[in-house]
Structure 1
Amino acid sequence: MVFAAALAGLFLIGCRSHDFPQYPANYREFAYVTNGGSDTVSVFDVVNIRLDRQIQVGQDPTGITANPKRNEVYVVNSGNGSSNGSVSVIDTEKNAVVATIPVHRKPYFLDVSPDGHLAYVANSGSNSVSVIDLDSRREIEVVGVGEAPGLVRVTPDDRSLIVTNRLGNSISILETTASAPPQLRKVIPGCPGATDVAILPDSSKAFVACSSGHQIMAIALAQAADSNHPSRPDQLEAMLDVGRSPVHLALKPDGGELFVSNFDSNSISEIVTSTDDVGGSYLMGSNPVRGLVTPDNALLFESDFSSQDISLYSIDDGKRIAPATGGFSIHVGDGPDALAFSSTGNLLFAVDARSGDVAVIRTSSQSLFTLLPTGRQPNAIALKSFRL
């Protein structure tokens, strides 16, 4: 055992000079994974690639999001269904819960405003969105939306909230201003099982996955008049046919193309965002559930939930490709789902929902580096980097 540990240490040191950046002494980066079956969050040290600790949070934690402006992450605790849920605030410098904020029934996901002052929580069991003041750490407003809101997203310009109403088969668009609480601006029906949202970097358009069907909804978002353009309201722009059960949308960082995970078609669809054209569909592994595009816009990593694999799709070549190390995909744990890159992009973390671990993949060699244990039923991941 001592020999094996020493050999593993030499392997890590040998790899670090080639595949891992050199971090300054005061640099910290952590990955946070919610464990719905353990009521915990697993904290992973990204610099040293190890499990740092388990943090006890509320009941049935689901969504998790990092604050872009302060060293905090927020965990949505969905509760048992009959009682209200809550949001746990984790101080990433201490890696400890420093506050718990009550919300409403069955919250699942949240998003944070670009300035880091507000959080928005979709309360699925209460048909509402909670507005949280992150400075005072309390709920300040509750806004009614459609039936069973599952996801809320803030536009990059901080002017709109896009809410997907899963059972209401609709989208609620809320207006956000600094001087007033969010106001309902538009409801767009006709999206069965509305789930995921992708918003273009310039906030001009949103795409919504209608997961109970086979379409993506393209929505042109309201814009005020300027010297170059007249004003325009929110409006449905197109319904795009893709594969069966589109469950996730992966947008290129440059916003030019969107990749749809078609769960029941074992495929991805490629959408040109400027023209709303479906460029084509491509077979992946079994039940693709989540995609993530590399920062250079060149490669899509795709979680194949029932294949225990991560598939690779070359955007430039327009086809699925084999990993650099051989084979047809990167073999990971059971039920790969949520994905996240490290801040430098050298590592990809894949949450394996069934086997209860996180696969750490080296993006340069497209190979599995290690598996790290989580709690029971891991489901979501967020990363936060900072300097002390």
Structure 2
Amino acid sequence: MPRRDWVPCLPYEEILMNVIKKTVTALTLGVALAASMSACAAQDRWTFDGDIHNNSLAVSPDETTAVVSYSQRPDVVVYDLKTGKVRQVLTGYVTPRNIVFSPTGDVFYLSDSSLGVVRKIDTKTLKVIADIPLGAGAFGTTLSKDGSLLYVNNEAASTLSVIDLDHQRPVAVVPGFSQPRQGIRVSPDGKTVYVTNFLGDKITLVDSKTNTIEGEITGFNKLRAISISADGNTLYAANSGSNSIAVVDTQKRAITTTVIVGKDPYGAALTPDGLHVYSGNLGDNSLSVIDTKTLKVTTTVTGLKAPRQAIVFTKDKSKAYVLNEDLSISTVDLASNKVVSTLKAD
């Protein structure tokens, strides 16, 4: 289990024992524990897994709104990308983990591992529509191809929850992982969910029809973010432990080569045309740009501040938005691979 840091509200052991007595399954335990402690978390900045750091950036389908978070900050910033200004700062979070917009963009979903929920938020009003309780440890999220399901990693319970978004409840909980964190992707054909496991340094493959584990890919080193090519045949994975991006043949379920990048890479973002992978290098404040044909680093983007997984490309393939540690967003021109502007939080 991860280390817990908190300002005491009630003794943790007392709360946990009360929950255990009323709990018969791992999922129920997580939900009950979150319900018992979420009020305390929001009030006193108790963190369930505050020693795990990550950030998230999501851009609405119409590319007018960006929502950003960093797990060490309890606020979530919403930017208007047309005006370049902050629309609003959302409060009441503890360790916000991942953000994803619905296909229509009218709502977005935000996970918080200390509150143990996925929160559904109206994009226009920025009001909370619903909280979906999943238990402390709720982390990485991704949508099914039709947008009807939300897959949620739980790094504490080592499970994958499958959420029916119409009914806002889990329809399946898949066990058998090893601390799955932010990295999770659905294959282009929608048949396979790729789930990263930080412990064990492997990617687990889940059959999306049966919600069962069907295989794994091993050999990573402090596995972070992943991306998948449009044909589904190649997967790119960030190895922060070896300063590299692993290139995976998904048919063979094996690493075919690795590309050395900058220091402590967390991101492995594939451009919409599939020609380049951008590695977000936390340790040297840069992006490494990899040519996917030659599998060589062609250039390095500098002028960033602790970039991680949060890299999003515009649909016209002209820009990348990169989240910095202070929740500012740097815009990178993809033609020159230079930072051309930065939106700053108030």
Q: Is TM (by shorter chain) over 0.5? A: yes
| 1:163 Cα deviation from its structure 2 partner | 0.7
Q: Is 1:369 the equivalent of 2:346?
A: no
Figure out how many residues of one structure are paired with residues of the other and give that number: 292
Q: Where does residue 208 of structure 1 map in the other structure?
A: 195
Matches within 5 A, 1:326-341: 329-333=300-304, 335-337=306-308, 338-341=310-313
Which residue identity does 1:259 align to in structure 2? Y
Report the residue type matching 2:259 in the other structure. Y
What are the residue-to-residue correspondences of 1:45-64 with 2, within 5 Å?
A: 63-64=56-57
Retained in 1: the 8 A contact 2:301–2:338?
Answer: no
Alpha-carbon distance change, 158 to 268 in structure 1, aligned in 2, over 3 angstroms: same
Query: How far off its partner does 1:362 sit?
Result: 3.9
3-state SS, counterpart of residue 306 of structure 1: helix
* Kept in 2: contact 1:210–1:245 (CA 8 A): no
Question: In the alignment, residue 117 of structure 1 is paired with which amino acid?
Answer: D
Partner of 1:151: 140
- Structure 1 residues 115 and 238: alpha-carbon distance in aligned structure 2, compared to 1, 3 A threshold: same
Secondary structure at the residue paired with 2:196?
Answer: strand
Give the whole-Å Cα distance in 2 for the aligned partners of 1:152 and 1:312. 25
What SS does the corresponding residue of 1:297 show, helix, strand or coil? coil
- Among 280, 289, 307, the alignment partner of 1:303 is 280
Give the Å deviation of 1:248.
0.7
CA distance in 1, matches of 2:290, 2:70: 34
1:52-93 CA-to-partner distances (Å, cap 9, x unmatched) read: xxxxxxxxx964423225844445587966xxx6x6655555
Q: What is the match of residue 317 of structure 2?
A: 345
Say which SS state the counterpart of residue 250 (structure 1) adopts. strand
Structure 1 or 2: more strand by fraction = 1
Letter in 2 for 1:220: D
CA distance in 1, matches of 2:126, 2:301: 41
CA–CA distance in structure 1, aligned partners of residues 144 and 223 of structure 2? 22
Task: Give the residue type in structure 2 aligned to 1:255.
Answer: G
Secondary structure of the residue that 1:289 maps to in structure 2? coil
CA deviation digits over 1:267-316, x for unaligned, max 9?
A: 22122334533323333332222122233222222233324443333322
Question: Aligned ranges for residues 352-363 of structure 1 at < 5 Å?
Answer: 353=325, 358=330, 360-363=332-335
**Offset of residue 361 of structure 1:** 4.5
Q: 1:374 to 1:347 in 2, by over 3 A?
A: closer
Contact 1:149–1:164 under 8 Å retained in 2: yes
Name which structure has the greater RCO, CA cutoff 8 Å, separation 6+.
1
TM-score, length-normalised on structure 1?
Answer: 0.63
Offset at residue 263 of structure 1 (A): 0.4
Q: Does the CA contact (< 8 Å) of 1:269 and 1:281 recur in 2? A: yes
Shift in Å at residue 147 of structure 1? 3.0
1:242-281 aligned at under 5 Å gives the runs 242-281=219-258
Q: Which residue is 1:194 aligned to?
A: 181
Larger Rg: 1
Q: What amino acid maps onto 1:169 in structure 2?
A: S
**1:176 has 2:165 as partner:** yes
The 1:212/1:352 distance shift into structure 2, 3 A limit, reads same
Offset at 1:143?
Answer: 2.3
The share of aligned pairs that are identical, in percent, is 17
Say if 2:161 is the partner of 1:161: no
Q: State the SS of the aligned residue for 1:316.
A: coil
Per-residue deviation, residues 7-66 of structure 1 (Å, max 9, x unmatched): xxxxxxxxxxxxxxxxxxxxxxxxxxxxxxxxxxxxxxxxxxxxxxxxxxxxxx964423
Change (3 A) 1:332 1:148: same
Gaps of 5+ in 2: 1-53
Shift of 1:94: 5.4
- The 1:73–1:314 alpha-carbon spacing in structure 2 relative to 1, beyond 3 Å, is closer
Query: 1:368, CA displacement in angstroms?
Result: 4.5
Tell me, yes or no, if the aligned pair for 2:281 and 2:288 is still in contact at 8 Å: yes
- Check if 1:320 corresponds to 2:291: no
Give the RMSD, CA atoms, in angstroms.
3.6
Structure 2: how far apart are the matches of 1:187 and 1:296? Answer: 33
Query: 2:233 & 2:188 partners in 1: Cα distance?
Result: 10
Deviations 1:197-239 (A, max 9, x none): 11123322111221233111111112xxxxxxxxxx1111212
Tell me the amino acid that sits aligned with residue 320 of structure 1.
K
1:311 and 1:121, CA in 2 relative to 1: closer, same or farther beyond 3 A? Answer: closer
SS in 2 for 1:195: coil
